[in-house]
Chain A
């Protein structure tokens, strides 16, 4: 339930597609010919790459690190220019402890609206281009993400993107950000809310074709760049006889956390693989039960129809009026085919956990041989 009300709140706050502010809209001057090619008011140029500003990188990092809850969400603000989606700002969304009620959904929508208005006043970008989410160990497939993104893709220019930030990788010294959006075929199936087997076959959907990845770049503006440069510079200590640790001071000391030999995350990762597999088995069990029930009901219906036909044939042979063909569907309630979305998402999770396990193991191997050769 949490997911739907969150999604509803998002939907309420987003601008209608027609009102989506195009970059050129607020300036009422004619677009200079040199820029005419890169400014597309109609959002016709497809997105090639997502560009993440340094500010957003630190904001997402801080939010996901400090958030008390498991789900960390925020909105991304920016604009697109010539196929590059520049994400220049972001803000965190409040987490609801009990977001079952309509009220908190509304207040969340109000929060977003007034935040956007406030940001516009200080001349920050105020058009929503997507949202971000923090996960650990690469498993970002869940209903929540799919739902929010489906709404965004309906409402935003270019459909919006979701940026996924991996906490566990970041803790290991490799800040990881990836940009995704839903594939058209998944969106089509999602809109019809039809995830039966035949629909999956028609749309050729597996877990790997739910999301498509968009290349992502991190950018620092020159001012930030020069500032970071001056932070990274070391200054010699004022004391004449300092020991090596304090001889030079850095605001940002160089770090070699990538060389850490510990395998702390590994056990947790394995546990999560097991958990995901267990969940998947339960889900498969449910599916199998449902499909057995469908088969049973169907065979009963078929038997009934066959029996009625036989009886009618017999009656016709005895020159009696045939019994009316009753509505089989009314007599036997054949349950609808179960949705396979959940099991597909679970498979995606298993795959993601497996992938992160694999990469940890492979870099672990390298480090082990590295240490041995010393």
Chain B
């Protein structure tokens, strides 16, 4: 589940040789969708003259500091021009305090910016955030929105290391770190809903969707996939296209799992389960009818 291409360079950092008190550099980063979506929203609401927006990433670290989970983000005001860059640190602190009241576990792990160009200012901002996250390493997530021509949407994450014999804040090396999108199973359906919404004609879907309708949609998808496979198999059998041996083996593996053993024993289980389900259904209806009757009776006066 890597994001944004495979250009991440895996460089073994040399921190192992340094003093044990220095935490290890993060080697993998996971991002929660809400952080990404907040960045996109911030980008949408920027001023026209702002080429990019930046903000703070909040999240948690694993106990050995090698993994960082970015769980949310907030926008930070900044301005940059030819001569200087300014970040509203006051604002950053206020927002962090506000966030930590709701989510005390989330700490500052780094910062984000949109666009994928890293420049001197990036190094300066990185230097600032390194102070915020000290003694841990600050990470930098560059999100390319894909809004500019010729650029592809994607996410890249970096850690920094100082460069030169006498490190200066405006110089640093950004080392890419692999980054993955992470979400819990329960949040999965929310993402599904959004992807469906994005594909629908006017990018809106009506709510609420009943579970039956949801089941129907899923079954339709499965049936379409089966149709596609069937079409492919028929074409191969008719000799229209040459079959891919690997594909055939995959198909056999997959469909072999689906085949169910002999009949008989299941019928009994099926009937028992059917009766249970029907009873629950009757019970639910009964409860609802009783509740309705009770509510009406409360309105009856002698």
Contact = CB atoms under 8 A, between A and B. Distances in A.
Interface of A: 51-55, 57-59, 61-63, 65-66, 88-89, 91-95, 111, 114-115, 118, 121-124, 167, 169-178, 197-198, 200-201, 204-208, 215-232, 235, 238, 244, 247, 249-259, 266, 270, 273, 277, 280, 340, 343-344, 347, 350-351, 353-355, 357-368, 370, 372, 374
15 contacts: A54-B194, A62-B32, A114-B94, A118-B91, A176-B207, A200-B298, A206-B292, A217-B205, A222-B203, A224-B40, A231-B3, A255-B192, A258-B215, A351-B287, A366-B215
Interface stretch (B17-25, B122-130, B253-261): B253-261
A317 B9 CA distance: 114
A253 B210 CA distance: 23
Given A207-B295, A347-B294, A362-B212, A173 B192 contact: yes
A219 B253 contact: no
Contact of B190 (A92, A170, A351): A170
Contact of B98 (A111, A200, A372, A374): A111
A273 B287 contact: yes
Contact of B206 (A200, A216, A372): A216
Given A58-B194, A219-B204, A362-B281, A249 B71 contact: no
A280 B198 CA distance: 44
B154 interface: yes
Given A259-B222, A357-B283, A365-B278, 4 more contacts: A207-B295, A215-B207, A230-B153, A354-B291
B102 A344 contact: no
For the complex, would chain B's binding face be called helix, strand, loop or mixed by DSSP majority? helix
Interface residues of B, number: 97
B218 A354 contact: no
Contacts of A366: 212, 215
A108 to B, nearest CB: 9
A62 B291 contact: no
Most B CB within 10 A of own CB, among A227, A235, A256, A355:
A227
Nearest to A238: B6
Contacts of A204: 299
Contact of A343 (B94, B103, B298): B298
A256 B222 contact: yes
Contacts of B134: none
Nearest to B253: A244
For the complex, would chain A's binding face be called helix, strand, loop or mixed by DSSP majority? helix
A58 B204 contact: no
A350 B197 contact: no
Most B CB within 10 A of own CB, among A61, A88, A121, A347:
A61
Contacts of A361: 277-278, 280-281, 284
A219 B292 CA distance: 35
A63 to B, nearest CB: 8
B214 A174 contact: yes
B67 interface: no
B28 interface: no
A244 B66 CA distance: 29
A200 B299 contact: yes
Contact of A277 (B145, B198, B287): B287
A121 B258 CA distance: 56
A162 to B, nearest CB: 14
Contact of B296 (A206, A228, A350): A206
A92 B104 CA distance: 13
A218 B204 contact: yes
B91 to A, nearest CB: 6
Interface in B262-302: 266, 270, 273-274, 277-278, 280-281, 283-285, 287-288, 290-292, 294-296, 298-299, 301
B299 A219 contact: no
Contact of A89 (B41, B102, B189, B210): B41
B197 A220 contact: yes
A357 B286 CA distance: 11
Contacts of B278: 361, 365
B190 A66 contact: no
Contacts of B185: 171, 257
Nearest to B191: A252
A344 B298 contact: yes
Given A178-B207, A258-B215, A259-B222, A114 B98 contact: yes
A197 B298 contact: yes
B288 A344 contact: no
B298 A230 contact: no
B270 A372 contact: yes
Contacts of B199: 229
A258 B219 CA distance: 9
Contacts of A118: 91, 94-95, 98
B238 interface: no
9 shortest interchain CB distances as A-B pairs: A225-B198, A357-B284, A358-B284, A361-B281, A354-B288, A206-B295, A354-B287, A122-B75, A258-B218
A364 B94 CA distance: 49
A367 B281 contact: no
A177 B181 contact: no
A200 B294 CA distance: 13
Contact of B194 (A124, A201, A224): A224
B230 interface: no
Contacts of A219: 197, 203-204
A53 B204 CA distance: 9
B280 A218 contact: no
